[in-house]
Amino acid sequence: MQTSLHFERRVHWLGYLGLAPLALGSSWVLIEPASATAIDFVKNYAAIILTFVGAIHWGRAMHMQHSSLLTWSVLPSLLAFSCLMIPSSIALPFLALGFILQLMLDSHQYRPLPWFLRIRFHLTAAVVLLLLVAWLFSL
């Protein structure tokens, strides 16, 4: 099924817009590395986004009646919630790992949509970079 150019542009625009809070939070950590509020901002937003990325598979699983996708869709939420309960010095790298693992799953699930995989790769790379920068500057 071919998507329209309008749809792809909207996915790109909204995907990159979704990076804005994380970029702002990571910039805040760069300016105030000792700010627990800035670090929590990054951790909390990343947890929300990881949950969102996992939830994409919930919708697909429901549509396809695919139970393993249903199971996988919940795991990012559980990881994200667990990260909210631990110190940021541990949570930020685990969140980055969660995004990488989710991208690995997506690279198999969305193989027929190369345009989507490209944006998922770019967004994941940006998220992981921003998380690691915030983590390194917060140590």
* Cα–Cα distance for residue pair 91/67, rounded to 1 Å: 28
Q: Give the closest residue to 99 by CA, choosing from 80, 116, 74.
A: 80
CA–CA gap between residue 41 and residue 35 (Å, rounded) = 10
pLDDT of residue 78: 97
Please give the Cα distance from 27 to 38 (Å, whole number): 9
Q: Measure the CA dihedral 14/15/20/21, to 10°.
A: 100
Q: Residue 2 pLDDT > 90, yes or no?
A: no
Per-chain mean pLDDT for the chain: 94
Phi, psi of 66 (to 5 degrees): -110, 100
Confidence of residue 5 (pLDDT cuts 50, 70, 90): confident
| Two structure tokens written together for 53 | 């990325």
Q: What is the pLDDT of residue 66?
A: 84
- Which pLDDT value is given to residue 71? 85
Q: What is the model's pTM?
A: 0.92
Q: What is the pLDDT of residues 44-94, one digit of tens each?
A: 999 999 999 999 888 888 888 888 888 888 999 999 999 999 999 999 999
Alpha-carbon distance values, 69 to 58, 63, 74, 78, 122 (Å): 7, 11, 9, 15, 23
| Residue-wise pLDDT tens digits, 119-129 | 999 999 999 99
**Mean pLDDT of the region 25-47:** 97
